[in-house]
């Protein structure tokens, strides 16, 4: 934090931690800053905090919060046509691999689902609700996987049409 923020936080903490007779009883929040100085609070669009004490905890920022920028994107340069074709080809290969995996998973789910009558497991022989729950979960998994397959096919269609126009 900057020196200015420390200058505001230290008196504020002292004010909050001491008895109310020693400090002002009005605290304003101005964005991420807190102040008890009325003129500076009125100059900004600050909100008066009512009730309770204010506790300010100093934190640290992580590197993950900073946006990641590629050199080409930050410089505003265009990607070479050959590089873009290679990227598009890689994207199509990845989508095709994902489609194959999803289709294999769909076949496994259909086999296990067995047209809505999967084999009962040992723990389901005594508990009919457990069996019904598993059948419902299998049905939902089939529907979700079918939706995934449709989405991958749409993306493949888009990727193919983009690479065909170039």
Asked if the model's pLDDT at residue 143 lies above 80, the reply is: yes
Q: Is the whole-model pTM more than 0.75?
A: no
The closest of 26, 56, 28 to 41, measured between CA atoms, is 28
| Lowest-confidence segment of 47-61, 97-111, 121-135 by average pLDDT | 47-61
More confidently predicted of 60 and 149: 149
More confidently predicted of 13 and 145: 145
53-96 pLDDT, tens digit each: 667 677 776 655 556 555 555 566 788 888 988 998 999 999 99
User: CB neighbours of 128 closer than 8 A, spacing ≥ 6?
Assistant: none
State percent of the chain over pLDDT 70: 66
Q: How far apart (Å, rounded) are the C-alpha atoms in residues 161 and 153?
A: 12
Per the CB < 8 A criterion, the answer to whether 88 and 163 are in contact is yes
Per the CB < 8 A criterion, the answer to whether 123 and 131 are in contact is no
- Would you list the domain boundaries of the chain? 3-57, 78-165
Q: Give the per-residue pLDDT at 11.
A: 61
14-63 pLDDT, tens digit each: 655 554 444 446 787 787 777 777 766 566 678 877 766 667 677 776 65
Q: How far apart (Å, rounded) are the C-alpha atoms in residues 87 and 70?
A: 15
Q: How far apart (Å, rounded) are the C-alpha atoms in residues 85 and 163?
A: 7
């Amino acid at each position: 934090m900057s020196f200015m923020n420390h200058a505001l936080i230290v008196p504020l903490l002292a004010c909050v931690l001491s008895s109310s007779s020693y400090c002002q009883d009005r605290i304003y929040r101005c964005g991420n800053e807190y102040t008890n100085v009325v003129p500076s609070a009125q100059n900004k669009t600050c909100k008066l905090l009512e009730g309770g004490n204010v506790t300010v905890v100093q934190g640290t920022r992580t590197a993950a919060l900073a946006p990641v920028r590629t050199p080409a994107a930050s410089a505003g340069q265009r990607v070479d046509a050959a590089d873009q074709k290679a990227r598009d080809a890689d994207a199509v290969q990845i989508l095709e691999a994902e489609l194959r995996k999803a289709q294999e998973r769909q076949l496994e789910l259909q086999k296990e689902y067995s047209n809505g009558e999967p084999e009962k497991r040992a723990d389901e022989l005594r508990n009919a609700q457990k069996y019904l729950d598993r059948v419902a979960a299998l049905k939902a998994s089939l529907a979700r996987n079918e939706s995934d397959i449709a989405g991958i096919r749409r993306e493949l269609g888009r990727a193919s049409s983009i690479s065909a126009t170039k």
